Structure 1
Amino acid sequence: MNLLSEARLRLPVRMKLAVVSAALTFAILLLFAVVVGTFTVRRLDSSFDSELRSATASLADRIRLRPEPQVPGDLLSAASAGGAQIRVLNRSGQVIGASPLEGEDLGAPSEDLRDVGRYRVASRPLLVGNVGGGGFQPPSLGRFAEPVGFVQYARPRGGLSSTVARLKAFLGFGVLGGTVLAFLAGLAVARRAMRPVTRLTGAAREVARTRDPSTTLPKPEANDEVAELAHTLEDMLGELGAARSETESALARQRQFVADASHELRTPLTSILANLELLETELRGDQGEIAASALRSSRRMRRLVADLLLLARADNGRQVPRKPVDLSAVAREATAEAAPLAAEHQLALDAPSETWVDGVPDDLHRAALNLIENALAHTPAGTPVTVSVRSEHPEGVAPQAAVG
């Protein structure tokens, strides 16, 4: 049952519509075939019985009656055409005349029709009036009439059965053919009805692929529910496009502000750092410590500004041009900036006077400082941390924080 439900849910809408249309048509045609078939079979059977009774009565009227019935041979031959059988019996039940064809025993005469083997048999009494002074009387059904014999007429039911079989086959093929045609017609109508939805689906896939909400959606010619859906989706895409434009504009302004602010802050910070470094070398005592603390804060601020510049460049997708950079100088600056954080560690620098590579100074400084801070943060107190620079490649290498 679950498999049937899952299969039904996986069917496309046009297939479901075609199946429902075919099922309804099948039910209607089947009911029609049952009613028409039953009525027609009854009519055929009734017509067959009426013809059998009429033929039997005609035979009885044509038999010459004497005190004993006399049956002409040519009458038996003519009446038995088509495989029919005729029996004429006297009042004692003895056969006194029969058709030339040998067939089954038709049994005793009966007032009603009955089936004997492959035949349907009708019986009719042969009546004659009382013999008086007027001589012989014609057959009569008066109250003094009495049968002098019987005639039995039997016709094979094969023709009726074949007619009924052909009728049932015709109705069955009609039901199946109508169902198939209804399925194909329903599938064609559903496919035509779902064609605008298919085009809308393709347009939606294109929007998902290109991420372009300005894509024009196809509009059906008919002003129906599908057209309303197309207009609604187009309005939704328009609103999404407007919201996207507003968001991109706000982000662009934000990136521009960050870039401008970072760039504008960089120059005064450089001057502040230079002045604080000068004061740190000239001042002693408490004033020197204050200058050193201000210098450390300024360096952290310079790092924050550099991070903002990096973020602005990443958002804009811009690449900063590379230039020759002295890694030894970068390592010294990073070590000096991280020195206040190394109160519980032994921070040392092992670098040659110069080590030149092509790179971005701010990025290299940030990488070196991150390595040093990670070494200080993730090692036990008292662990020596050495910042070393080695030229192991012709183009130089980045600074490494070695724990040892």
Structure 2
Amino acid sequence: MRPIALRARVAAAAAAAIVLAVALLGVLVVARLDRQLDRAMDRGLRARAVDVARLSASTPKLLTMPGALEGRLSGSTLYVQVVDRRGRLVSRSGALGSRVLPQAPAVRRALVGRTASYGDAVLGSEPVRLYAAPLGATGGGAAAGGVVIVAGTTAENADTLRGTRRIVLLGGAAAALLAAALGTLLTGRALRPLRRLSADARDVERTGDVARRLTTPDTADEVGDLARTLNAMLASLERAREAERRFVGDASHELRTPMTALRGNAAYVARHGPEPEAMADIERDVARLGALLDDLLALAREDAAAPAIGEPVDLLAVARVAVAADPEGRATVVAAGDGPVLVAAEGHALERAAINLVHNARKHGPAGGAITVEVGAANGHARLSVADEGPGLGPGDADHAFDRFWRGPGAGGDGSGLGLAIVRVIAERHGGRVRVDGPRFTIELPTSHGTLKDRP
């Protein structure tokens, strides 16, 4: 089953909302109008009954004179009838003709209980509303102590209510159609930029060209924000793809060197036998290849890992692990405080970063020179610094020190250029950063609870 389009759903929702609103309003209006019409009629019937009662008390003889009981209510003829205390007809208005108002319960309550009340009845085939009130004995006459009955037709009220309902229904239908049309029009205009975005996104999917950008509407609404967000995402994907291409190219180049040497040495051994020098070269190539693969796997794991959510880790303990891993024993730890420096981290990852910094200092510092690993904290940030006694990197080289596969112009040995890149990724995954100042490399991380803890 094909899903209903968003434009149709919005139009249907707008029409349904209008129908419900008009229906509720119509019910309230009709109910209010019905009550108002009933009250107006009741007031008119009672007012006419009071006039007849006054006439009976002051000049009872006028009750039987032609035209004395005639009256109208809102354009409709009133029916007036007077009976004596036994219920016998004394007088009636000319509008009744030969008809007699029915003996409704309200009439009997006025005759027997002497209480005025309203009631509904039928005069022939005409529905009427009537009011019956007892007459006093003052003034004498045939109607003294009797009852005056005033009635009016309810047909006009019913016609008014039917007309009102018809207007409400027609108005509701027209409003629903108008709401559906406006909803369709406005939704179509609102969705036009989304359709362009969707078309551009399909083109990007079809071509695989993340360098393309989606059409950004010149608006400050949600659609514009969505377009700008998607373009920022495409830019990030483009940078990630370019970094991936460079990484694959650099990794292929770095792997090719030891693989070529390994292949050549293996061919030499195959031809001349396992000479000690060739076997030593093979062992060095295998070790270099293993170290490179280890660095690549470590970098890939750090790239794919989620932001670190670790346990409190003491940077002093991390520094001691890095110093212990120095095979030459040149590294020493300096603590800039009396207590442990705690950070929320993954201990093994920080240990690898610290070991990489110590290894970098041993490799690029002066032969036999001291290596200092310093730990401290201030202003809510912890730091672990590793420095050697060499001149360090210049400003131009410092900008590239943490790039992948970058090696300084005077670098020697068999390094892969990934050690410092791994340090940066680890620091950033822990919410920190890494910086270089001459021969000093520093990892900065938020402290656990932002304070220095007392040594237990």
Superposition TM-score tier, normalisation by shorter sequence: 0.3 to 0.5
TM-score norm. by structure 1 comes to: 0.48
TM-score (norm 2): 0.43
Q: Which has the higher helix share?
A: 1
